Structure 1
């Protein structure tokens, strides 16, 4: 049976619950649905969902999530339907939004950016690049930085939003067929398991201090920094503003160093106003610092222990060459196999993801063999190749 060509008309945004429920009921009969969102986050901690775009085999829809009185429950039911694959491109931020909105990760989940990396399209390949390669389409990015919270939306904005799921159908089908031919479907399934884990999207306030990369081993300072960073995360969530707008990283480092105990002392820190120091946020920050001061020595945090002697830079360089060679030979993005930090840890004898699952067969076993002297690297014409050691 021939497949009907999808309509090229600009969809009328869905603004009422009955229309959304009817759409989701139709889409629940599909094998897969492509999904994208438009949101704003510049002025808030939590993303403000503005649009959801959905496409089945024969229709494309744009849901105006800001429409008064619109109940998104039918969308939540569709995203939870295990019989329908939900296809995203670069899914992480979209999935985070739906996890916040519905309390669950869409399931089952398929990310075409990750699948494209497995299929050899390079690191973090863009949607428009895949659209050109697999759908023969050119994407107009003129509305990429639109204010999606402003109403009314123009036909051009709606058309732009709809295009993000229209061509995703052909991209998904092309990747699935390619990966099935190459026997890599299981590789993608391993990657999707991490994306489907809700813990992937939840920032732990108690570990936020590690992102600041303090350069001291003073554990009392680290306790104050941990308290300040955890306070910022929770307070930014409470008042719904970006964490850096609430307090910059350098402000937290200075607060931990000066350990203020009063609003007057707190107001002397760079980036802290007198009004902030005397207000509710300042009081809660001072309270968090006071709790950290009371911690016994055995409860103080510490920086990760040194790994011992640094691995030979030459060994790390060899592993980088091997990574590039194996990536080229297997047509898979190098970044998906191992990061630079993971190569250094591998050289130091630590356990890394490259030693598990499909990565081990592509790169991990060869890396261990290179370290053990069982293989060497040589040049064959214009390519690096692996040579079995005599």
Structure 2
């Protein structure tokens, strides 16, 4: 007898909850439900400046599906309290946790179906692909890049958003079975806990250096103008809540910084200076250029940070590190293949690069493991990789100096 497959719910209409009264009623219903809760959030990346959630979807067995409009609701602390003891199922949790926490939704336990799929060696881990492979249900993803700040939200978008969470409990149950079969339950638990505990990235120093093509500017004065233009655009984008690149493209800012127009008219005549706000806000950009031309605070030609050079440059910059890195990476690839866990999940690539660039002394399994743990590696990652990395380092040392004693 063929195994029955989960059947997606029949969707007729979904009401977006945008009042406190309706929100509190939904909170009570979800609290009365059973089992883990499927959670998802939709942002408007590429359309708005903020990364806030413009729709939050929650499903729980015995309660149903609820679609929340975060801006008018505001604080979700009551819902967070009601679901405090439940496991929250998310797909690619690291993408949604920040915007959920922004409104007061902060899970104590998560199950990340995307991360678990990676640990199982599933080659394509998008939600639609994983659902189709493991549940046999085709899940259309045509609205994944939509502008979710749109109001009212079209019915087809709401159907799409609801299905994203309504299938998560069934998907989680299937993945749990596969994790048990492959003896990866503990690995997954450690990864979920690490995702939940990971701190937000610190604000980047000199964020204006993220301008695409900034390397093409070679003078400090040009960089100062680029900085002032970026800051002016960022302030304007925040005020109007529009993605900066939709106002004035990076290429336009760089063109102005490269030419250094001497007059407002020269800026207006610059063919490359185009975009939604280039002409309407010309005074804003001209004032920024004037500040950049006049400032005595000239930026360094290159940013100072602790970023390692790309591995392709190591052979010239640090040949010994290059050999260590290649040897240890090859050893880890073997384990990656055996465990059917992608290399980047077996060990964060940056951790391996940093240990290879500046190895501990002496480079044995204990010291390598300690270095990896200090960088953020999980216990299972240290157990799976530290000895192999140390062995590779010793082998490289012995190849360079056949009489070298690694214990000396």
Task: Determine the C-alpha separation between the residues in 2 that align with 1:51 and 1:44.
Answer: 14
Q: Aligned with 1:87: secondary structure? A: strand
Task: Determine the C-alpha separation between the residues in 2 that align with 1:325 and 1:309.
Answer: 25
- 1:286 paired with 2:286, answer no
Superposition deviation, residue 169 in structure 1: 0.8
TM-score by length of 2: 0.70
Partner of 2:303: 302
**Cα distance per residue 1:72-121 (max 9 Å; x no partner):** 53x44324653233321123443343345x26755544432123323433
Cα distance 1:276–1:31, how it changes in 2: closer, same or farther (>3 A)?
same
Q: Aligned with 1:372: secondary structure? A: helix
Cα distance 1:19–1:302, how it changes in 2: closer, same or farther (>3 A)?
closer
Superposition deviation, residue 55 in structure 1: 0.7
- 1:369 paired with 2:391, answer yes
Partner of 1:166: 166
- 1:98 paired with 2:100, answer yes
Partner of 1:325: 334
Cα distance 1:203–1:141, how it changes in 2: closer, same or farther (>3 A)?
same
- 1:356 paired with 2:377, answer yes
Q: Aligned with 2:122: secondary structure? A: coil
Partner of 2:238: 237
Partner of 1:22: 25
Q: Aligned with 2:206: secondary structure? A: helix
- CA RMSD in angstroms comes to 4.2
Task: Determine the C-alpha separation between the residues in 1 that align with 2:274 and 2:205.
Answer: 21
Superposition deviation, residue 184 in structure 1: 1.7
Partner of 1:386: none
Q: Aligned with 1:56: secondary structure? A: strand
Superposition deviation, residue 168 in structure 1: 0.8
**Cα distance per residue 1:110-135 (max 9 Å; x no partner):** 4321233234334x611123223443
Q: Aligned with 1:244: secondary structure? A: helix
Q: Are 1:251 and 1:271, in contact at CA under 8 Å, matched by a contact in 2? A: yes
**Cα distance per residue 1:175-197 (max 9 Å; x no partner):** 455556532244214431355x3
Cα distance 1:206–1:235, how it changes in 2: closer, same or farther (>3 A)?
farther
TM-score by length of 1: 0.72
Task: Determine the C-alpha separation between the residues in 2 that align with 1:272 and 1:147.
Answer: 23
Cα distance 1:161–1:103, how it changes in 2: closer, same or farther (>3 A)?
closer
Q: Are 1:267 and 1:277, in contact at CA under 8 Å, matched by a contact in 2? A: no
Superposition deviation, residue 209 in structure 1: 1.0
Q: Which deviates the most, 244-253 or 104-113? A: 104-113
Partner of 2:402: none
Q: Are 2:222 and 2:258, in contact at CA under 8 Å, matched by a contact in 1? A: yes
Cα distance 1:304–1:25, how it changes in 2: closer, same or farther (>3 A)?
same
Q: Aligned with 1:279: secondary structure? A: helix
**Number of residue equivalences:** 360
Q: Are 2:323 and 2:396, in contact at CA under 8 Å, matched by a contact in 1? A: no
Partner of 1:250: 251
Q: Aligned with 1:184: secondary structure? A: helix
Task: Determine the C-alpha separation between the residues in 2 that align with 1:338 and 1:215.
Answer: 34
Q: Aligned with 2:73: secondary structure? A: coil
Cα distance 1:225–1:363, how it changes in 2: closer, same or farther (>3 A)?
farther
Residues 13-162 of structure 1 mapped to structure 2, 5 A cutoff? 13-15=15-17, 16-29=19-32, 30-46=34-50, 49-63=53-67, 65=69, 71-73=73-75, 75-79=76-80, 82-100=84-102, 102=103, 107-122=108-123, 125-141=125-141, 144=144, 149=150, 151=152, 153-154=154-155, 156-162=156-162
Superposition deviation, residue 248 in structure 1: 2.2
Q: Aligned with 2:55: secondary structure? A: strand
**Cα distance per residue 1:45-76 (max 9 Å; x no partner):** 2357553321112233242528xx95353x44
Cα distance 1:85–1:234, how it changes in 2: closer, same or farther (>3 A)?
farther
Cα distance 1:304–1:211, how it changes in 2: closer, same or farther (>3 A)?
farther
Task: Determine the C-alpha separation between the residues in 1 that align with 2:282 and 2:105.
Answer: 39
